[in-house]
Structure 1
């Protein structure tokens, strides 16, 4: 059996990293030869979790076909969010909690798709179903992923499955998930040392909506002014990325993790569709307030998709 690489989406977040590590370990216990890799450097939140649980970040790759013939995907399926040469390898496994879009394979594959708040929740259940023990440090990383994706179980994407997984993983990892979770989330909101580009594109994904290429970024903070006091530079960074990559529209969601509210900033074409998606007008600063909106997957992408494609 040839070696396979396991990885998540570009601009990796904590779930992408933890899920790749966990699913690689899981598959190795089943007899596969796999290695978890990443499609970019880890962010501050993920670094905090890795340091807490004494683990190393997966190595970063830009291409995979030069190393392997087959891969396993976690936490994404859209080709625009994956490795550039995905079409040159065989995808044998897919574990995801996002919409399916533009994903096609030449051969059948193992696919587990569940509408949970986090991919690491799905993988937790796979471990349990197979009666495979999760190592303590890996349980800590998977716990971190669920806390990150569900904002400590406060996001509308959260399911009962996520809550049960958090309790189980916290016990295995030996931590108080609420105390640790708040520390980890705050570690990811230290924006002072980040460049404007890192803020707008550090956690961003590209979506093909109708005939438009839409970039949707999200940044967490404990004070919206930490971002919008830099709005001139933020807008310049967004515009530069649009010019460089051909994005038609750039939407940045700035989320306050303490009160679960967001402000949206939008640039480019189709601003009328952005307004239609949320039934609100952008103000003179190209912003709108979105109370209770914290989930890009559930509360941002679906209404934008409907507005662009409907």
Structure 2
């Protein structure tokens, strides 16, 4: 049997890493030979989750082809968000909860994408469909991923299925998901000891919109004033990233996990700023705008930008 690697997107978040681990366990229970790997080191939130549930972090890879010919993707499908040599390997499976873009294969594959709050909610459904019991440790990782992607069920991406999944997984993991979830989110919201460059790259994704490369990063905080005070440093790091990588725009969404509000800082091609303002029906003032109630990059930030581009 040919071994396959399973991984989430670059700059992996909790959903990407937990998804790779939980999907690999499921596939191995079904008779496959897979290994969960990652396309980057865990962020603070994800490391808290791994430590809490005594799970070793997946090893990090830069390329897949030197090891395998086939891979499985979780929590992403877009080529620019995947492993650098994705075109050199065969994608056999995808489990995702995002839009489908810049994705094509030479042959048929298993593709499962649902409009749910987390890819781990999709995986939770798959475990039940296959009749595979979810171990307590894996359940804890999956629960954490849903908490992370839905901001403790407060994101507009949250569905009744996510609520059902988190209740079930919390029981299996022997956790009070609300108490644990607040602690987990706060663990990932400490930005004081991190550089601006590290913060804008910790959870950033690139999107092609109207022929332009748009970079959108998101940082969770518990103290918005502390974050906004670093705007100049954020802008300098964002401008440098645009120059080095050819991004037309770099948007940084700073989200307060306690009140579910976001401040957006924008840098890049000045001629494109009116499109950003039109997308959110807000004027940029001093390079930033306030977006009350906005917490989801996937549902509240990317779609209105796509419409403008």
Moved more, 234-243 or 9-18: 234-243
Structure-1 separation of matches of 2:199 and 2:265: 13
Within a 5 Å distance, the mapping from 1:84-163 to structure 2 comes to 84-163=84-163
- The answer for the alignment partner of 2:44 in structure 1 is 44
DSSP-derived class of the 1:225 partner: helix
Match of 2:70 in 1: 70
Q: Deviations over 1:106-142 (max 9, x none)?
A: 0100011100000000001100111101111111010
Question: 3-state DSSP class of the match of 2:127?
Answer: helix
Post-superposition shift, 1:232?
1.3
Q: Distance in 2 between matches of 1:141 and 1:160?
A: 20
Instruction: Identify the residue that residue 280 of structure 1 maps to in structure 2.
Output: 282
Q: Contact conserved, 2:231 with 2:265, CA < 8 A, in 1?
A: no
Give the CA deviation at 1:159: 0.4
Q: Report deviation, 1:230.
A: 1.1
Q: 1:226: how far off? A: 2.0
Return 37-46 or 231-240, whichever deviates more. 231-240
TM-score by length of 2: 0.99
User: For 1:198 and 1:158, how far apart are their aligned partners in 2?
Assistant: 28
Q: Partners in 2 of 1:190 and 1:281 — Cα distance? A: 29
Does 2:201 correspond to 1:188? Answer: no
3-state secondary structure, aligned to 1:59: coil
**Bigger mean CA offset, 106-115 vs 192-201:** 192-201
* Equivalenced residues, count: 307
**Structure 1 residue ranges, 4+ long, deviating more than 4 angstroms after superposition:** none
Q: Which runs of 5+ in 2 are unaligned?
A: none
Separation in structure 2 between the aligned mates of residue 107 and residue 57 of structure 1, nearest angstrom: 32
Whole-Å Cα distance in 2 between the matches of residues 213 and 74 of structure 1? 23
Q: Secondary structure at the match of 2:37?
A: strand
Question: Structure 2 matches for 1:183-262, cutoff 5 A?
Answer: 183-262=183-262
Give the corresponding residue for 1:11.
11
Q: What SS does the aligned partner of 1:60 have?
A: coil
TM (normalized to structure 1)? 0.98
What secondary structure, in the 3-state scheme, does the structure 1 residue paired with 2:50 have?
helix
Tell me, in whole angstroms, the C-alpha distance in 2 between the residues paired with 1:304 and 1:100. 16
| Structure 1 unaligned spans of 5+ | none
Residue 102 (structure 1) shift:
0.8
Paired with 1:13 and 1:145, the residues of 2 have a C-alpha distance of 8
Indicate whether 1:305 and 2:306 are aligned.
yes
